[in-house]
Amino acid sequence: MLSRFDDYAIHQTPEPVAIPASSDRNVYDRYWLNGFDRDGAYYFGVAMGLYPNREIMDCAFSILIDGEQHCFFASRRAPKERSETSVGPFRIEVTDPMRSLRLTIDDNGTGIACDLTFIARTACVEEGRQTLRRGDRIMMDATRFAQFGRWQGEVRYAGKSVRCDPGQTLGTKDRSWGIRPVGEPESGGAPMTILPQFFFLWAPLHWDDRCTHFGLFEDDQGRPWHADGAIVPAYASLDGIPGVIDAETQVLPTLEHNITYEPGTRRAEAATIALISSSGDRHDIALEPLLTFRMKGIGYTHPEWGHGRWKGDLAVGHDSWRTSDINPITLDNQHIQQLVRATMGRETGIGTMEQLCIGPHARYGFKSLIDGAAER
């Protein structure tokens, strides 16, 4: 199946671009973005995924404001044309690669709509390849990059609206592709003999003249099996960004973290992280949570709108809840992003701390699938 991209010199296999190099059913290609108010008034998340071997494309948008989270979902049969990035009323348009992106959701029955433009504040941060095996099988094998930016435009929800000004609304863009578990759980085969385990901590932070990037995966003993840390120069306008990658980016090879969990949950009450250079220079950062965004609002572990699930040729849906009504220890509420105030010496920043901790983790005292932190 040829597509318009086949007219570019970008082929990595003898197949047309539309044909994945792997036949794994969990091949994916994802856009992910967030946005938030500098003062902590609101947070929104965006996701769109293509699963070519499942023939599905889905998307979601969710905003957390005034103690409520409002969610838009849509899914379709995947288009054969890989340049087609729309699902019903939802559309992502790469207006200037690695510099700006436009998201529109036309008015629809969910009451959620938007017209937003992401404008880069930094060059991209390419993370190392992330490969996870369970026994002899590859469960995740992905490439990812992150980019810091600003938002301009409007979000409409529940009969209300929010104006996003680039001086006030910051965010992060995340692109990843490869293989990762999506869709319905697989059945058949020998039963698992150990508890599932996954620990992910990600903290992209904005400061006045730079951004810091922190991300790691750990095993059940708290041993990192992948880590990425960087300090990235930030620029006042697109004209200042020197290219896709900024030669002035500092890569920091060692990361540390210390999380104080709210008793009975796996949600941070407070945290400190550190980015450490090869010469031992430390950048210690304290994080104070302001809001808690449930990632199920953009499909992650959502019981009905989970990523890569067949919903028909086209389906649109919505969900909403009050944050005070959420049970923090159920499985679908474990994957979160917290909007955090960051402090590094005398500097103050703003950003997010993503947490996904499933199964045992010896350092923090977790022993079962989703037991909460002990009372102090």
Which positions ≥6 away from 194 have C-beta within 8 Å?
Answer: none
* pLDDT over 80 (residue 192): no
* pLDDT for residue 16: 92
Which pLDDT value is given to residue 187? Answer: 79
pLDDT in tens, 22-74: 999 999 999 999 999 999 999 999 999 999 999 999 999 999 999 999 999 99
Cβ atoms of 298 and 62 within 8 Å: the answer is: yes
**Average pLDDT, stretch 348-369?**
97
For 65-120, the pLDDT digits (tens) are 999 999 999 999 999 898 999 999 999 999 999 999 999 999 999 999 999 999 99
Instruction: Scan for tokens 């999380």, then name that residue.
Output: 259
- What rounded mean pLDDT belongs to the chain? 96
pLDDT confidence bin for 136, thresholds 50/70/90: confident
Please say if the pLDDT value at position 355 is more than 80.
yes
Contact 308, 53 (CB under 8 A): no
Would you state the pLDDT for residue 1?
81
What is the model's pLDDT at position 268?
A: 98
**Whole-number pLDDT of residue 85:** 97
Enumerate domains of the chain plus CATH numbers: 4-182+194-364 (2.40.370.10)
Task: Identify any residues that bridge with 127 across adjacent strands, giving them in sequence order.
Answer: none
Residue 217 pLDDT more than 90?
yes
Q: Is the pLDDT confidence value at 299 over 90?
A: yes
What does the pLDDT look like over 265-294, one tens digit per residue? 999 999 999 999 999 999 999 999 999 999
Give me the pLDDT at residue 208, please: 96
Give every CB contact of residue 31 below 8 A, 6+ residues apart in sequence: 46, 47, 48, 49, 85, 92, 101, 173, 174, 175
Range 74-112 burial, b when 16+ CB lie within 10 A, else e: bbbebbeebeebbbbbbbbeeeeebbbbbbbbeeeebeb
Query: At 160, is the pLDDT very low, low, confident or very high (cuts 50, 70, 90)?
Result: very high
Beta strands 42-51 and 56-65 are antiparallel
Look at residue 137 in the predicted model and tell me its pLDDT: 84
Q: Are 70 and 323 in contact (CB under 8 A)?
A: no
- pLDDT score, position 184: 85
- Whether the pLDDT of residue 324 is over 80: the answer is yes
Confidence of residue 188 (pLDDT cuts 50, 70, 90): confident
Q: What percent of the chain has pLDDT over 90?
A: 90
pLDDT interval class at 186 (50, 70, 90): confident
